[in-house]
Structure 1
Amino acid sequence: MQSTSSQEFIAAMRTVASSVSVVTTDGDAGRYGATVSAFCSVSANPPTVLVCLNAASTITAKVQDNRAFCVNVLPDHASYIADRFAGRHDTFVQDRFEGMDVTGPDFGPVHGLAGATSLQCQLTQAVLEGTHLICIGRVTQIALGSEMPLTYLAGQYQTSVPTKAAMP
């Protein structure tokens, strides 16, 4: 079997559009959030999703300790939130949540960032693969957004535009 280099893999993944999400967590281990693009559904019955988090990142330890996370799929006008939670403002904003319009129950992850679709989850399984931890979560609460999602493609934020379905 032929192996693929990391550089080839990264170049290939830059051609795949994905939604931009902020994963948040809150609990005994503390509140934290980070921007991710590796998120997908696993099952509708029971409702389950997965997110991939860099194993060396702060959020990974907090999600594992809190046993809960929330996936906030950002609307297309929220690139500033994506930048904030990607750490691009960390030098001048100590708390990534500072000034954010967030809501959430006392017992769990923060959700409701700028009209995002939010899926609150209980961590059911975590699998280490390479540099990332695959976090599988049972969805316990949903807040639906009504806007098109922010996407990421070729190293840039993008917006999606609906197209007409092809006629049969």
Structure 2
Amino acid sequence: MTTCDETARSAFLAAMARAATAVAAVATDGPAGRRGTTVSALSSVSAEPPLLLVCLHRLSPTCAAIEGNGRFTVNLLSESQSAISDVFAGRGLAQGEDKFATGDWRLGADGALRLAGAAATFHCALEAAHAHGTHRVFVGQVLESAPGAERPLLYQERAYRRLAPCAPAPV
């Protein structure tokens, strides 16, 4: 693993804080356990076949559970679900408290954990996992996706944000 000095690291983090990103709760359930975490690093990889990429810190217990279960869901949080983001990020949760008690989680017949009221949900079969730097990069083949009716929650400059239309550009 390549390391950088603290100045370069701080500059990188400050620059990345300018990026507005979607916020999602990644969840998995199965023989390797029920786990979940908050992510803001997610992206579409391909539409044919439908593939989704998520990055999780390598020390997150969710990483081993995803690899052991071979499936995960990406629940794109809606504007009203910032409390779920906080809990899945480890904030505001008492020791031993079940994070899945926050929000309306539904376990489908296919074993996928879906969050009611999410802006969108993606049920994925694990296709690949790679270690890069401090994170594990997971690529999932999307088995099922569903858009919700809610607007997505964003994160930028270390705060939650909402989408707003831009004013028309002057001509």
Q: TM-score, normalised by structure 2?
A: 0.89
- 2:44 equivalent to 1:76: no
- Matches of residues 41-120 of structure 1 in structure 2 within 5 Å? 41-91=44-94, 94-120=97-123
**Structure 2: which 5+ residue stretches go unaligned?**
none
Distance in 1 (alpha carbons) for counterparts of 2:9 and 2:29: 33
Distance in 2 (alpha carbons) for counterparts of 1:45 and 1:74: 25
**CA spacing shift, 1:106–1:32, aligned 2, 3 Å:** farther
Q: TM-score, normalised by structure 1?
A: 0.91
Distance in 2 (alpha carbons) for counterparts of 1:165 and 1:43: 31
**1:33–1:59 CA contact under 8 A, matched in 2:** yes
Larger deviation, residues 127-136 vs 95-104: 95-104
- 1:126 alignment partner, one of 107, 110, 129: 129
* 1:139 match: secondary structure: strand
Deviation track 1:41-69 (CA, whole Å, cap 9, x = no partner) reads 00000000100010111111111111111
Q: Give 1:90 shift.
A: 2.5
Residue 86 of structure 1 aligns with an amino acid whose one-letter code is A
Residue 54 of structure 1 aligns with an amino acid whose one-letter code is H
Residue 40 of structure 1 aligns with an amino acid whose one-letter code is S
Match of 1:35 in 2: 38
Q: Whose helix fraction is larger, Structure 1's or Structure 2's?
A: 2
Match of 2:24 in 1: 21
How much is the aligned-residue C-alpha RMSD, in angstroms?
1.9
Distance in 2 (alpha carbons) for counterparts of 1:131 and 1:20: 19
Match of 2:155 in 1: 152
**1:47–1:139 CA contact under 8 A, matched in 2:** yes
Distance in 1 (alpha carbons) for counterparts of 2:151 and 2:67: 30
**CA spacing shift, 1:15–1:155, aligned 2, 3 Å:** same
Match of 1:161 in 2: 164
Residue 103 of structure 1 aligns with an amino acid whose one-letter code is R
Identity level (%): 39
Larger deviation, residues 49-58 vs 110-119: 110-119
Aligned residues: 166
Distance in 1 (alpha carbons) for counterparts of 2:54 and 2:80: 22
